[in-house]
Structure 1
Amino acid sequence: MRGDGDGWVFGLDGARYWGRFGAAGLLLCAPVDDDVAVLLQHRAIWSHQGGTWGLPGGARDSHETAEQAAVREANEEAGIAASDVDVVEAIVTFQTEGWNYTTVIAKAPTLIATVGNAESAELRWVPATEVAALPLHPGLATSWPDLRPRL
């Protein structure tokens, strides 16, 4: 079902951004060995920035908080149930006039099984130490150095 947030907006610089009310993604982490792994989505080639690795996420609807949007999108794109995650914090990781992207950090007790939809070429739990080696979505690539210590 399409929400009222689906749609492109244009920043003052002329760049376009997905999400009429902003966007949010879920940075879900779980313990693995002596480290932490994060759930990444290999974005379908047809999608915006397709072929890169990013977070399950998308447009916020008018009635949602960033946390609600990120958890909803993770359910839609990765089959993650809201009851399986514990939201820790929300951080605006990109902002321009009238639009922002919020990264919502959440924890899971274990590596949860995932079920992708058409927006995902692949879903993968990646050790945090290996994330930067992947071809990341530009937004995640920019914010990862600040996000990594928060996990």
Structure 2
Amino acid sequence: MRGDGDGWVFSEDGGHFWGVYGAAGLLLRAPLADGTPAVLLQHRAPWSHQGGTWGLPGGARDSHETVEEAAVREAHEEAGLAADMMTVRTTVVTATASGGEWTYTTVIADAAEMLATVPNRESSELRWVAVDEVAALPLHPGFAASWDALRAVLQGDQQH
């Protein structure tokens, strides 16, 4: 079902950003067998915007949703993840445009184990990737630009 947030926002400099009310993605963390952290990444389908790159399950936020609700809904739609299998920890605004009126928010959540996934047509693949190996992949430009800051949040959260 198409939500009321689907659509492009155009900035004065000609950039375009998906999500009339902004967008959100889920950075889901779970332990590998040896206890080191891994995150769930989506290999974007070739036909999609920035296809062939790795990023997060996510998409447009609808007018009635919080960023957490949008990210969890998108993760369910794109990866088959159930909301009750994860715990949302924090949110980080990782991109802004149109004078701050458009934002992309990364919602960081934890799962007790690497959950099974079911990719939809927007994904070529879904994969649990060790945190130390993420930067070696061809990342979506927006995710690549925010990865160092997100990794620092993940590492800081582990120390508590």
TM-score (norm 1): 0.98
Q: Is the 8 A contact 1:11 1:99 kept in 2?
A: no
Moved over 3 A (4+): none
Match of 1:42 in 2: 43
Equivalents in 2 of 1:12, 1:100: separation in Å? 15
Match of 1:100 in 2: 103
Match of 1:126 in 2: 129
Equivalents in 1 of 2:109, 2:102: separation in Å? 23
Alignment deviations for residues 38-87 of structure 1 (CA, whole Å, 9 cap, x no partner): 00000001101000000000000000010000000000000000001100
Match of 1:141 in 2: 144
Equivalents in 2 of 1:87, 1:13: separation in Å? 34
Amino acid of the structure 1 residue aligned with 2:114: L
Any unmatched runs of 5+ in structure 1? none
Amino acid of the structure 1 residue aligned with 2:26: L
TM-superposed CA distance for 1:11, in Å, is 1.1
Which deviates more, 58-67 or 9-18? 9-18
Match of 2:68 in 1: 67
TM-superposed CA distance for 1:34, in Å, is 3.6
TM-score (norm 2): 0.93
Match of 2:4 in 1: 4
Q: Is the 8 A contact 1:70 1:104 kept in 2?
A: yes
Equivalents in 2 of 1:118, 1:112: separation in Å? 19
TM-superposed CA distance for 1:14, in Å, is 1.2
Alignment deviations for residues 10-46 of structure 1 (CA, whole Å, 9 cap, x no partner): 0121101000000000000001114100000000011
CA RMSD of aligned residues (A): 0.7
Any unmatched runs of 5+ in structure 2? 155-160
1:111 aligns with 2:108: no
TM-superposed CA distance for 1:110, in Å, is 0.1
Percent identity for Structure 1 against Structure 2: 68
TM-superposed CA distance for 1:149, in Å, is 2.2
Equivalents in 1 of 2:133, 2:12: separation in Å? 35
Equivalents in 2 of 1:34, 1:4: separation in Å? 40
Equivalents in 1 of 2:86, 2:35: separation in Å? 20
